[in-house]
Structure 1
Amino acid sequence: MSAHPAPTDRPARTRLSTTVLLHLLPGWVAGAIYLPLGAALHRAGLPPVWGLLLVTVAVLLPLELALLWRAGALPSLRRPRADARLLGAAGLTLLASAVLPGLAVPLEGVTRPLLPLLPGWVLDPAQGLAALPESLRALTLAAWLVVFGFAGPTVEEAYFRGWLLGRLSPLGRAAAPVNALLFALYHLWQPQHVLRVALTALPLAVARLRTGRLLPGVIAHVTVNVVAWGLLALSLAR
Structure 2
Amino acid sequence: MNTQRPTATPQAIRPNRIAEVLLADRHSVPLSIALHLIPGALIVAVYMFFAEPLVLKLGYPPFLAWAIAMGVALAPPELGLLLWLGRRRNGRFSLRGVLHNTGKPISRGKITALIAALIVWMTVVSLALVPMDNFFYNHFFTWIQYRGAGGSATTYLDGYSHNATLISLALCLPFTGFLFPLIEELYFRGFLLPRLPQLGRWAPLFNTVLFTVYHFWTPWTYLSKVIFLYPAVWLVWRKKDIRISIGMHPGTTLLMATVGTLAVLFGVMP
Taking structure 1 as the reference length, the TM-score comes to 0.78
**CA distance in 2 between partners of 1:49 and 1:104 (Å):** 18
Shift of the alpha carbon at 1:193?
1.3
- Retained in 1: the 8 A contact 2:119–2:249? yes
Partner of 2:161: 131
Q: What is the rounded CA distance, in whole Å, between the counterparts of 1:118 and 1:61 in structure 2?
A: 25
Match status 1:229 vs 2:257: yes
Where do 1:69-148 residues align within 5 Å? Answer: 69-72=83-86, 74=95, 83-101=108-126, 102=128, 105-106=131-132, 109-110=135-136, 112-119=138-145, 120-123=147-150, 124-128=155-159, 130-131=160-161, 134=163, 137-148=165-176
Label 1:60 to 1:107 Cα distance change in 2 as closer, same or farther (>3 A).
Answer: closer
The one of 177, 188, 193 equivalent to 2:216 is 188
Select 1:35's aligned residue among 48, 65, 75.
Answer: 48
Query: Share of identical aligned residues, percent?
Result: 24
Letter in 1 for 2:250: V
1:151 aligns with 2:179: yes
Q: 1:223 to 1:13 in 2, by over 3 A?
A: closer
Pair member with larger Rg: 2
Q: Distance in 2 between matches of 1:160 and 1:70?
A: 16
AA of the residue aligned to 2:65: G
CA contact (8 A) 1:104 1:199 kept: no
Q: Which of 10, 18, 37 is the matching residue for 1:24? A: 37
Larger relative contact order (Cα-Cα within 8 Å, sequence gap ≥ 6): 1
Following the alignment from structure 2 to structure 1, what is the Cα–Cα distance between the partners of residues 166 and 26? Answer: 48
Match of 1:4 in 2: none
The CA RMSD over aligned residues, in Å, is 3.2
Tell me if the contact between 1:149 and 1:226 (Cα under 8 Å) persists in the aligned partners.
yes
Per-residue deviation, 1:111:
5.0
Could you tell me how far apart the structure 1 residues matched to 2:133 and 2:169 are? 31
Deviation at 1:48, TM superposition (A): 1.3
Q: Please name the residue that 1:5 is paired with.
A: none
Q: TM-score, normalised by structure 2?
A: 0.70
| Structure 1 alignment gaps of length 5 or more | 1-11
- 1:39·1:48 contact (CA, 8 Å) conserved in 2? yes
Deviations along 1:61-82, whole A, 9 cap, x unmatched?
A: 1110122224438368x9x896
Match of 2:13 in 1: none
Contact 1:26 1:60 in 2 (8 A): yes
CA contact (8 A) 1:157 1:217 kept: yes
Q: Deviations over 1:67-125 (max 9, x none)?
A: 2224438368x9x8961122122123323323444467548745542232234513332
What residue ranges of structure 2 are gaps of 5+ in the alignment? 1-24, 87-93
1:178 partner letter: F
Aligned residues between the structures: 223
1:58 is matched with which residue? Answer: 72
* Aligned counterparts of 2:251 and 2:197: Cα–Cα separation in 1: 27
CA distance in 2, matches of 1:104, 1:165: 28
Q: Aligned equivalents of 2:189 and 2:225: distance in 1?
A: 14
2:89 is aligned to none
